[in-house]
Amino acid sequence: MGNVSCTTYIDMSNVYRTAEENGASVEELIILCCIRLHAGTREVDQLNKLLQSNVEWDKLIQLAREAFMGPLLYMQLSTVCPTLVPPAVMERLRTDFQSNAKHNAMLIRELLTILERFNREGIPIIPYKDPLSARKEYGDLRVCTDLDVFIHESDVARATEVLRTQGYTRIPRIDAIGDAFEVALEYHRIFAKDPDSYRRMFAHDRVGPFDFANDRAGKLELHWNFLPRRWSIIRNNDQLWARARKVVIDGTQVCSFSPEDSLLLACIHGTAIHNWRWWKLIVDVAELITAHTDLNWDQLVTIARQRGCLRILTIGLLLANEVAGAPFPEDIRQRLDHDPRTRAYVQRVVLRLFQETTSKSDLAATNPDLSGFHSMFMQERVSDKCRSLLRAMMLPDRSDVEMLPALASHTKVWYLLHPVLVVVNRLQYRLKPRA
């Protein structure tokens, strides 16, 4: 089996019942219906009923902005049931939609300029999670707040210089750290056209809403990998480059990840980096599934298994299916990871989406199963778990340097200090009073 048509949907009533039982608001349910409608499900009647109930329109708009769902909400409401939305509300949604489209167009122009300069310098580059892909796959519905480009690790220094000549300033995540040590610790560098604007907009890991009209930061992330080095998966990227394909967008030839790699990377990004904190992450996976009707599901599962990412792929596909309504073949479902903990993790993520009383930004700190340090569970192979454990114990990380910034420039010291700091941190966690 290679390319298979997708026909398996999760019944809306299952998700709707879960949402209602966990205190979902009418506004959240409206957005949920719009997300699922976009994936091709049939929730028109349910959406009509919700829109005729006691909707707090200001709350709906704010929630859509914070969830980066404003453009999708506008498209569905204006297409399916425009007469049920007050004209003033529709106008605000239309304004947001147009602002996002203009912002995406600006990012596309900037990205094409960067691609041209990198090509001229002979530096291979692949943009991803970008407005070019968004336009190709689902128009201007995706909210893109920055640019992300992928290069070879050996090209980091040259790429940094190219971006400097393009007016970008590097924003160090760790002050006074050497370049080589940063590459060893991190997996990407952050750049901005206006560092002051960047610090105002992104310094506190803000979730949204994003101010498109006043975005002067010009944020760009330069990636040479996709996860911190304590993860054993996604370390050798030669096959990613080999499977990349050339596509023409807006008259420009662009190197792009294969649909299978794009989908797997979206699942990795949602699981390992952001813990599925936002609906947008799930919708991104759903969009990739519905946009690529020629997706080779056999190859996708094979790649995930070889990479040790089958559990991560399972989580992403189940969330996209159950929340966003994105279908995938039943025989692929049978070949995914069926560890009961995987199913429990998916259920906790779904519940979290509809728990307004819990701060979504604080969940990573309060729930260890959904924290940034769950690589031991997410990596299903024993060899990967062992390597990750050794790396966590032996390799320094950013938190070490942030704890003792005065020693930031002393590279070799950190390899000696890190094991001690790990023990200290664990003791502090054990001794910390529990609420």
What is the number of alpha carbons within 13 Å of residue 214 lying toward its C-beta? 8
Confidence (pLDDT) at 4: 42
Of 323, 234, 317, the closest CA to residue 280 belongs to 323
**pLDDT value at position 123?**
96
The predicted pLDDT at position 232 comes to: 73
For residue 282, give Cα distances in angstroms to 167, 221, 288.
33, 21, 10
pLDDT category of residue 263 using cuts at 50, 70 and 90 = very high
- How far separated are the first and last CA of the chain, in Å rounded? 52
Please name the residue ranges forming H helices in 139-194: 156-165, 179-185
Is 4 within the bounds of a domain? no
Query: What value, to the nearest 5°, has the Cα angle with vertex 30 and ends 265 and 26?
Result: 125
The more confidently predicted of residues 83 and 139 is 83
Q: Which residues contact 326 (CB under 8 A, 6 or more apart)?
A: 6, 39, 285, 286, 287, 289, 290, 317, 320
- Which tens digit of pLDDT belongs to each residue from 343-386? 889 988 988 887 754 444 444 433 333 343 456 677 778 887 78
Q: Is the pLDDT of residue 266 over 90?
A: yes
pLDDT of res. 197 = 82
CA dihedral 74, 62, 54, 324 (to 10 degrees): 60
- For residue 359, the model assigns a pLDDT of 41
In a domain, 26, yes or no: yes
pLDDT computed for residue 304 by the predictor: 93
What is the mean predicted confidence (pLDDT) over 55-64? 94
Q: What is the pLDDT of residue 366?
A: 34
Per the model's pLDDT, the better-predicted residue between 40 and 331 turns out to be: 331
Instruction: Give helix 57-66 / helix 70-80 axis angle, nearest 10°.
Output: 130
- Number of folded domains that form the chain: 1
Structure tokens at 279: 């609906």
How high is the pLDDT of residue 413?
76
Given a cut of 70, whether residue 38 has pLDDT beyond it is: yes
Does position 221 have pLDDT exceeding 50, yes or no?
A: yes
Flag whether pLDDT at 435 surpasses 90: no
14-28, 138-152, 163-177: lowest mean pLDDT where? 14-28
Number of other CB atoms surrounding residue 217 within 10 Å: 21
H/E element, 248: strand 245-249
In-domain check, residue 169:
yes
Residue 2 banded pLDDT, cuts 50, 70, 90: very low
> What per-residue confidence (pLDDT) applies to 204?
54
Residue 215 belongs to a domain: yes
434: confidence class by pLDDT, cuts 50, 70, 90: low
Alpha-carbon distance 110 to 29, whole Å?
Answer: 36
pLDDT of residue 358: 41
Q: Name beta bridge partners: 256.
A: 245
The reply to whether 422 falls in a domain is no
Write down the pLDDT at residue 408. Answer: 65
Taking 50 as the threshold, does the pLDDT of residue 7 lie above it? no
pLDDT, position 208: 56
Q: CATH number of the domain that 119 lies in?
A: 3.30.460.40
Give, for 189, the enclosing helix (H) or strand (E): strand 188-192
Task: Round to whole Å and give the CA distance between 141 and 139.
Answer: 6
pLDDT above 60: residue 223? yes
Q: Where are the alpha helices (DSSP H) in 223-307?
A: 238-243, 259-268, 279-291, 297-307
Report yes or no on 423 lying in a domain.
Answer: no
419 domain residue, yes or no:
no
Highest mean pLDDT among 78-92, 130-144, 213-227: 78-92
Q: Which of 83-87, 111-115, 377-381, 402-406 is least confident? A: 402-406
> 21 or 323: whose pLDDT is higher?
323
pLDDT of residue 183: 76
Q: Give the highest mean pLDDT range of 171-175, 315-319, 342-346, 391-395.
A: 315-319
Which of 22-26, 41-45, 91-95, 351-355 has the highest average model confidence (pLDDT)? 91-95
At 415 the pLDDT is 73
CA 326 – CA 324 distance, rounded (Å): 6
Q: Which residue has the higher pLDDT, 351 or 424?
A: 351
Rounded-to-integer distance, Cα 30 and Cα 27, Å: 5
Mean of all residue pLDDT scores within the chain: 81
User: Does residue 416 fall inside a structural domain?
Assistant: no
Radius of gyration of the chain (CA): 22
Q: What is the mean pLDDT of residues 226-238?
A: 78
Closest CA to 352 of 22, 69, 64: 22
Q: Which domain holds residue 300?
A: 12-395
Span 5-34, mean pLDDT?
A: 71
